[in-house]
Amino acid sequence: MLHLIWTGIIGLIAGAVAKAILPGKDPGGWIITMALGIAGSFLGTWIGRTLGFYKEGASAGFIMSVVGALILLGAYHLYKRVTA
């Protein structure tokens, strides 16, 4: 149970850092920010394993979680620009 709470807190922080770095109108409040950070962590873990930074079973660190969240937020901005 504590692991899930800790994951949510780190996700919230990583998503907030990504939103602070990337300018623009962003969706949602703190729940969307948390989901962005958690999804960014999954993406960062996948990228890290693909590039050989992490071994199987290891997860992304905070910086790679922010990088993953930035990629997702950038994709969202690109999508909104194309559809607008």
Q: Find the mean pLDDT for residues 1-18.
A: 81
pTM of the model: 0.83
Containing structural domain, residue 32: 2-83
38-48 CB burial, b ≥16 within 10 A, e <16 = bbbbebbbebb
Share of the chain above pLDDT 90, in %: 11
Please state the domain count of the chain.
1
pLDDT beyond 80 at 84: no
Residues 6+ apart with CB under 8 A from 10: 37, 41, 62, 65
Position 66 confidence tier, pLDDT thresholds 50, 70, 90: very high
Query: What DSSP designation does 56 have?
Result: T
**What pLDDT was estimated at residue 72?**
92
Q: Chain-wide mean pLDDT for the chain?
A: 84
Dump pLDDT digits (tens) for 68-83: 999 999 898 888 888 8
